[in-house]
Structure 1
Amino acid sequence: MRLLCLDLEVEDKGGFFAYPSDFVELDCSHKPINQISTIVGSSNGLLCLTHRYRNDSQYQYLYVLWNPSIHKAIFLPVPDFRLNSNRHYALSHGFGYDPTTDDYKLVRVVYVDGTVPPQVEMYTLRSGGWGYLTASGPANVIADWTLSVFMNGVVHWLAQTPNGEGNIRNVIVVFDIGHEEFDEMPVPKSLEGMEHLNMEVAVFHGLLALVPCNGNEWELEGEESYSIWVMREYEVVESWTKRFDIDVGVGLRRVVGFTKNGEVLVIKGGKLLSYEPSSQEIFNPHIRSRTESFYFSTYVESLVLLNVEDGE
């Protein structure tokens, strides 16, 4: 088991950083993994990526499952719900493993012109195809620049009530991979009504967390935006606790992950930095890339995909 940071900035190549040791380059020329790819999530050594490209005047998305340890990646089939240039779309994704069926699932949430509920499709590796969910989609809007996390068999996203529906309410939208159902969880009371909550969900040493995230170019607003919140007991709202604040100065874009020795890995000014909360010391490992290119996770080598054919 290794703790890895993946940088997708260089076209046709990917890079694993076995943090904090040296950069190890992987040859990814056989599949479209480049600077406009984003990692949705990982499970059992399998990475799920979205590859965004422009088709005429509209962005479209390809999906790839990639197992670096066996040097294999497969295209997923094109989803049934097609995007067109006459509408505005906001997409969110989640990826996880369902142990009850021994299956890997990718859920795609598509908001059309900002309306709710969204269109929801799910790909399963066992079926090799997409299908629409019969269950109702979330009644809240997931910000398309925030990432999801998968833990306890559930995908989590930070979301907000739709525009024009009264007071702002921030919630965590959850999707149970096994039961294929949406629900919601509360955020800390002090964050519930914040209009510009520049945060996203994360995992802090096995616990659900909320961390700073600036999906836009302007500076984060309010001191709460620099705090790490942890849910000490899963699904218990009273257990939300502000663990510590992050002080790395102006320009914080995203919290990437946490190391076992207590460091916080953040992105600032296109650089990966390590922040030590107790001493407030900042270490620069001299790794640069776009904010969206970094993905930090515990990685386990596996044989998943070994006998799976390309879905294209």
Structure 2
Amino acid sequence: MSYKNVEIDLVNMEVDFDVGDEKMDLVGTCNGLVCLGSHSGRLSIVWNPITREFRKYLETEISNSFGPKCLVYWGFGYVSTGDDYKIVRLCMNTSSHSLTVHVYSIRLDTWRVINNDAYDISNMSYPMLIRTSGLFVNGTLYWRLPEAICSFNLESEKLDIFPPHLEVMINTPLSYVTFSNMLFVVNGCLSTYGPCRRGNDHIFTILKSPEVVEQIIVPKDVAGLMPYAGILIGFTRSDKIFTQYSRRRLGVIDLSLHPLNLTPLMKLGGRGVTEAVSYCTSLISPKSLSYKNV
């Protein structure tokens, strides 16, 4: 969907690839490429919707050992140092209470296990209604895990649970990061959206820098229209917020209006769960990203 002022241009992008019996999630976008990952952790796809080119990455040696007690989280991003795209897969084992990291370098065409010793997550609970795709912000992927925020820097390949630079966001005066807060990217900044400490209003908390947080109050009548914790898609250039405020409804919040209000844009068709992300087009070919294709 392209949106300019009040004009909406909706284009249906045909999918040319087959995923068999795999159930796929929309992992994220980067530089015009779209990444999808399967619930099983075996299959990932990098796709350019404009050129209709794609590459499939099937990994079974590690993922066949996951079992029913594993929750799989995906991430996708670009590392300018080394000119590489990386697919990251977190495996949370709810039986052994461990979290392991697997990284696929598209440039080198290899999978690696980053953390063989894993991380102790024995104090976490395991609700299933949680977004499993990581957000890519300034070279780092972020996931909203049960009762924690997890980050993975694609260059250093270091995993952090509740990374220190998020303390200013967690300890803000009006809101705090709880399980009900979801993570988003707003104008290139990591952000959360959730209830205020007091009252029925909700709040956007935007991490402008490691020391600076901006907060935007969303009145309760607008917050009430966003039952999915306000699935935030992104900002327009005129400070309007795209949001998915029900299973298949898209709307926009104009920050220049006071009080804030939510304007419906469209209702999407189809069945099941709808996932929406911001996307910028490019002509990068997924088939030219690894050494083997050069």
Q: CA RMSD in A?
A: 3.5
- Structure 1 residue 285 displacement after superposition: 1.8
**In 2, are the aligned partners of 1:227 and 1:245 still within 8 Å (CA)?**
yes
Q: 1:177 to 1:63 in 2, by over 3 A?
A: same
- Structure 1 residue 129 displacement after superposition: 2.8
TM-score by length of 1: 0.72
**In 2, are the aligned partners of 1:198 and 1:225 still within 8 Å (CA)?**
no
Aligned to 2:140: 154
Aligned to 1:101: 82
Q: 1:68 to 1:275 in 2, by over 3 A?
A: same
Q: How does 1:280-299 map to 2 (within 5 A)?
A: 280-288=260-268, 292-299=273-280
Aligned to 1:252: 227
- Equivalent-residue separation in structure 2 for 1:251 and 1:111 (angstroms): 29
Is 2:254 the partner of 1:276? yes
- Equivalent-residue separation in structure 2 for 1:173 and 1:111 (angstroms): 12
Match of 2:61 among 80, 84, 89: 80
Aligned to 1:55: none
Match of 1:232 among 200, 208, 211: 208
- Any gaps of 5 or more consecutive residues in structure 1? 1-16, 53-58, 162-169, 214-219
- Equivalent-residue separation in structure 1 for 2:66 and 2:158 (angstroms): 30
**In 1, are the aligned partners of 2:100 and 2:119 still within 8 Å (CA)?**
no
**In 1, are the aligned partners of 2:28 and 2:277 still within 8 Å (CA)?**
no
Aligned to 2:180: 198
- Equivalent-residue separation in structure 1 for 2:88 and 2:236 (angstroms): 28
- Any gaps of 5 or more consecutive residues in structure 2? none
1:189-237 deviation line (CA, Å, top 9, x unaligned) = 155574xx22222221222211249xxxxxx99758831001121x33x
- Equivalent-residue separation in structure 2 for 1:153 and 1:85 (angstroms): 28
Match of 2:215 among 222, 242, 246: 242
- Equivalent residue letter for 2:2: A
**In 2, are the aligned partners of 1:80 and 1:131 still within 8 Å (CA)?**
no
Aligned to 2:27: 40
Match of 1:264 among 224, 241, 257: 241
**In 2, are the aligned partners of 1:148 and 1:201 still within 8 Å (CA)?**
no
Aligned to 1:117: 98
- Equivalent-residue separation in structure 2 for 1:84 and 1:150 (angstroms): 27
- Equivalent-residue separation in structure 1 for 2:18 and 2:60 (angstroms): 19
- Equivalent residue letter for 1:18: S
Is 2:158 the partner of 1:181? yes
Among all aligned residue pairs of Structure 1 and Structure 2, give the percentage whose two residues are the same amino acid: 18
- Equivalent-residue separation in structure 2 for 1:87 and 1:288 (angstroms): 33
Q: 1:124 to 1:193 in 2, by over 3 A?
A: closer
Q: 1:299 to 1:45 in 2, by over 3 A?
A: same
How many residues end up aligned between the 2 structures? Answer: 268
Question: More relative contact order in 1 or in 2 (CA 8 Å, sep 6+)?
Answer: 1
Aligned to 1:211: 193
Q: 1:135 to 1:44 in 2, by over 3 A?
A: farther
- Structure 1 residue 85 displacement after superposition: 8.6
- Equivalent residue letter for 2:184: A
TM-score by length of 2: 0.76
- Equivalent residue letter for 1:275: I
- Structure 1 residue 275 displacement after superposition: 2.1
- Equivalent-residue separation in structure 2 for 1:179 and 1:224 (angstroms): 41
